Amino acid sequence: MAQGCNLCNRNCNVSRNNGKTGFCRETEIVRLARAALHYWEEPCISLSCGSGAVFFTGCSLGCIFCQNAPISSSQVGREVSVPALADIFLSLEQQGAANINLVTPTHFVPSIIRALDLARGKGLALPIVYNTGSYDSVETLRMLEGYVDVYLPDCKFASSSLSAALCHASDYYEKALSAIDEMLRQTGPFVFDPSTSDVPVPKYADLSFFSEHTAMKKGVIVRHLVLPGQVEDSCSILKDLYARYGDQIFISIMNQYTPMRDFSSDPSLDPKLAAALSRKLTTYEYEKVLSFAKKIGITNAFIQAGHTAKESFIPAFDYEGLPDQ
Ligand code: SF4
């Protein structure tokens, strides 16, 4: 990265190859917190064998309620060379992973592409899943054309005041929608792989995250985590996504928000917002969002069943699967 970094819409323009860091807090040297089989993604991503999740350190979005705060805030991370990253991909394939799942990869895209080229040269055949907060620039996503099979972008907030308060990006929504446009342009409408299971293509409202399912071969699954106190914002997002993409994408409507701290003493937050973020989502709130989704005709959706707001769903960032330093 000889030029300044503009991989995401922060456009920090810093020379990360000189050890400098921008908003994401990372130089251009890849750091990881974990690379292991992961069973808690949508059923068509995890299957019963597990997704090969590679957790990258740092984040270009930095939501204040982040469920993976130890890595997004760069507290946990081990440096990994590009050849070592390629070997990690190959090791996950040998362990039986359904795919390579790149988690929060935006700020390392050039290195990831080099590692994928190396791994492909050594026989890597798994589909690639790109799991992002969706603040990637469109130019960065274009670099990934031909490398990514399934995009797993978040669509977190519609309201600009909400995104300004929660991730310091008042333009989040417009940028996320532009990113999703580009992802869908690359993959086209979703395709499932019938050879992986005889379970029919999933339909809304009879799904849990914990069942075996047909693998998604290519496509886009937009994830929306419903936040406590933000039912209106969630409905607005669902309405816009369905109007814009119809049945070409899947939408994953998530209820697993886990308050990682008490926000009530945060002076930068509106007290009502702070109080809501300090609690879990209620069943009533989640049901309201699901009812709205059904009412407007969404059928291609994953929903979460039962009580998912547990810290136990957050993986241990213990360097599992990484080479020793
Ligand atoms: S990837 Fe990091 S350094 Fe580059 S523009 Fe985004 S936040 Fe800034």
* Segment holding 292, helix H or strand E: helix 283-295
In a domain, 325, yes or no: no
Q: Evaluate: CB of 309 within 6 angstroms of ligand 1.
A: no
Nearest to 167 by CA among 222, 76, 104, 112: 104
**Which atom in ligand 1 lies closest to the alpha carbon of residue 10?**
5
Give residue-wise pLDDT tens across range 17-30: 998 999 999 999 99
With DSSP H G I counted as helix, E B as strand and the rest as coil, what are the percentages for the chain, rounded to 5?
A: 35, 15, 50
Q: Give the model's confidence band at 223: pLDDT under 50 very low, under 70 low, under 90 confident, else very high.
A: very high
Q: 3-state class of 93 per DSSP?
A: helix
Domain that holds residue 248: 32-313
Q: Evaluate: CB of 14 within 6 angstroms of ligand 1.
A: yes
Give residue-wise pLDDT tens across range 186-195: 999 998 887 7
Mean pLDDT of 247-270: 91
**What is the 5 CA–ligand 1 centroid distance (Å)?**
6
**CA nearest ligand 1 atom 6, residue:** 8
Percentage with pLDDT > 70 across the chain: 91
Give residue-wise pLDDT tens across range 140-182: 999 999 999 999 999 999 999 999 999 999 999 999 999 999 9
In a domain, 6, yes or no: no
In a domain, 15, yes or no: no
Which of 40-49, 73-82, 108-117, 245-254 bottoms out in mean pLDDT, i.e. has the lowest?
A: 40-49
- Yes or no: say if 24 and 14 are a contact pair by the CB < 8 Å rule: no
**CA nearest ligand 1 atom 1, residue:** 107
Q: Give the model's confidence band at 208: pLDDT under 50 very low, under 70 low, under 90 confident, else very high.
A: very low
CATH classification of the domain holding 50: 3.20.20.70
Q: Evaluate: CB of 24 within 6 angstroms of ligand 1.
A: yes
Give residue-wise pLDDT tens across range 61-115: 999 999 888 888 878 899 999 999 999 999 999 999 999 999 999 999 999 999 9
In a domain, 186, yes or no: yes
Q: Evaluate: CB of 179 within 6 angstroms of ligand 1.
A: no
In a domain, 16, yes or no: no
| pLDDT at res. 313 | 60
In a domain, 46, yes or no: yes
Nearest to 313 by CA among 322, 304, 321: 304
Which of 109-118, 209-218, 278-287 bottoms out in mean pLDDT, i.e. has the lowest?
A: 209-218
Domain count, the chain: 1
Report d(CA 215, CA 196) in Å as an integer.
6
Amino acid at 39: Y
pLDDT of 325 above 80: no
* Segment holding 235, helix H or strand E: helix 231-245
